[in-house]
Structure 1
Amino acid sequence: MHELPGTVSHDDGLTLTVTRDLSIPVEELWSWITEPDRTAQWYGPWSGDGRVGATVQVTMTSEEGSPTMGMRITECSPPHRLGLASEAPPPFAWPLALQCAKSEGGSSITLHHTQIPAEMSLGDIGPGWEFYLDHLVCAIEGREAPPFEDYVQDLAEPYASHA
């Protein structure tokens, strides 16, 4: 079995945690997860009122058909933590948070997906978020990211076996 880049736990329901290290200051990393022109380069653009309690519309440009979904901002503590709640229909809605921290080489970002419904497959979710965080790193570094199919091939089975 492959070693997972992320971690899976069952402490408070199913939780997926994925981390990446970056060679930029935490303040610059924060701009990559909160400014629509920058999120568009690795995940997708968003529009709306970016404040706690508001819902923004996020377009997932790497997904088939580039769907747009509502994400309610549940927490915003610049430049360290952004909490979101997906407004997708069940079972596709659960809380997630992006946590940014200073590190010796620059900064790190940790994505926490919590309370993932039991009927959801980590074989789908895990590779997808590994893909997106690698796309963030590649956008920041100005290089091409691997295609999604590589993540599915390498990580779907290992993630599915940890559910």
Structure 2
Amino acid sequence: MIDIVQQIAAAHRAVELRSGADGESVSVQVRRTYDAAIENVWNALTDPDRLRRWFMPVSGEFRVGGRFQVEGMASGDILDCDPPKLLRVTYGHETSLVEVRLAENGEATVLELDHTVPLALAGSVAGALYVGPGWDGAVMGLGRYLSGMDTVAANSPEVLEFSAHSISVWESVVRAAGLATDEELVDAVAAAKAQFTPDES
């Protein structure tokens, strides 16, 4: 059983529009603290046998220059791998970058995930809704796994309800940032619902 309110509240979310040498990009950020040692969290993120228990089957090598494949989803290259603190990869496209940073907080571990894509690829800052709910599901799954809870099927009513709440929260985050139009938000919410809650009527 998923405590949806607790799981939603456990993560902090943010979205930014960044300017750089290659133009503007959209950054989707999720932060969560786990009651687990940093080495345990790192291992759960990078060991294929453990990844399949809370995320999805992933093949490849978690070393700089290595490649990985998430079964039925994205593939990418390992750009940085500094155990147990930093993992930076491309995800689905060479300009789609995911950086995971781990930091000790007493006996707990703080995970910060930053997924950055060019604005042209995201379409608008509202494009955060295309990936934010997915990362919410991942950090929730990791938390349940690290706590010794059973995994929940991705298409279960509980997960679909969690995803619906996540979409609503991400809509609020993007709206509060003031970086997307109402029309962009409406379109992004509709796309997120089609992707993350396809079985809901």
CA-based RMSD: 2.5
> Hey, which of these two has a bigger chunk of helix by percent?
2
Matched, 1:49 2:61: yes
Cα displacement string for residues 30-69 of structure 1 (whole angstroms, at most 9, x for unaligned residues): 101110011111111222233211211222xxxxxxx143
* 1:145 Cα offset (Å): 5.9
Aligned length: 152
Provide the secondary structure at the position in 2 that maps to 1:6: strand
Matched, 1:11 2:18: yes
* Contact 1:134 1:145 survives alignment (8 Å): no
* Contact 2:65 2:79 survives alignment (8 Å): yes
Report matched runs for 1:59-78 at 5 Å: 59=71, 67-78=72-83
d(CA) in 2 for partners of 1:8, 1:145:
28
d(CA) in 2 for partners of 1:110, 1:125:
15
d(CA) in 2 for partners of 1:56, 1:144:
25
* Contact 1:127 1:151 survives alignment (8 Å): no
* 1:131 Cα offset (Å): 1.1
* Contact 1:130 1:151 survives alignment (8 Å): no
| Structure 1 length-normalised TM | 0.80
Tell me which residue corresponds to 2:88: 83
**Quick one: which of 170, 173, 176 aligns to 1:159?**
170
What are structure 1's unaligned runs of at least 5 residues?
A: 60-66
Provide the secondary structure at the position in 2 that maps to 1:56: strand
Provide the secondary structure at the position in 2 that maps to 1:31: helix
Report matched runs for 1:140-155 at 5 Å: 140-144=146-150, 147-155=158-166
Matched, 1:22 2:34: yes
Tell me which residue corresponds to 1:112: 114
* 1:157 Cα offset (Å): 3.4
> Which stretch of structure 1 is more off in the superposition, 18-27 or 117-126?
117-126
* 1:88 Cα offset (Å): 4.5
d(CA) in 2 for partners of 1:34, 1:124:
24
Cα displacement string for residues 99-142 of structure 1 (whole angstroms, at most 9, x for unaligned residues): 11101242111111112533273223211111110100001111
* Contact 1:128 1:148 survives alignment (8 Å): no
Provide the secondary structure at the position in 1 that maps to 2:53: coil
d(CA) in 1 for partners of 2:162, 2:12:
11
> Which stretch of structure 1 is more off in the superposition, 13-22 or 80-89?
80-89
Dislocated runs of 4+, deviation >4 Å: none
What are structure 2's unaligned runs of at least 5 residues?
A: 1-7, 20-24, 153-157, 175-179, 181-201
d(CA) in 1 for partners of 2:165, 2:133:
8
| Structure 2 length-normalised TM | 0.67
